[in-house]
Structure 1
Amino acid sequence: MPTLIRWIKPKGAEEYHVTVIEKGRTETFVVDDIVVDSGVDIRIGGKETTRGWVVTPESCRIVEIETLPGIKEKVLACTRKTIRELRELVKIT
């Protein structure tokens, strides 16, 4: 079943406010980064804020990744990648 992800990042903010709608339930999270492997109907825009949405066939989960010693980031991952692959991906972006 597809998952709808909507996000907004206010101007000057460092975190995304994300709403995930999956299987009839809605959850809201505050995350540092978003990783989506594949998506349909991707929309990104905004002047004062960064906002957008994507529909993805993957299920989503919140993962805490230690990018540097002592620094952890909360990531919304809609992917089948492992934690190690996500860590490498988040480090380079």
Structure 2
Amino acid sequence: MQNNKTIVKNVYQSNYRDLMEKYIFKIIYSYVIDIVEKVAENMTVAQKHKDFIAHFYTLALLALIHEWVQNDLKEDPKKIVQQVATLVQGAFKNDLEKYAK
């Protein structure tokens, strides 16, 4: 996204923003659900709860991306990823344990 800053900003300011966000959502969700499933391997958690956790974190990440674009993609994405990684360290496990049977 940072390499195509002009295109990304134009799409975000156009009628096609929804399409772009849906596309990004699908990509992020696929990674997040994979992590949630892996963390939940030895737990008994209903699929609807795993899906909800993945959905919740995907929306949070999508909001961060939106804010990053709105701020002209200035912040180093590596720093954002590092902050998110610190924040969610162990969070999936804790969230899944709340739903475990």
| Structure (1 or 2) with the greater strand fraction | 1
Q: Which entry has the higher C-alpha Rg, 1 or 2? A: 2
TM-score, normalised by the number of residues in structure 1: 0.27
TM-score, length-scaled by structure 2? 0.25
* More helix as a share of residues: 2
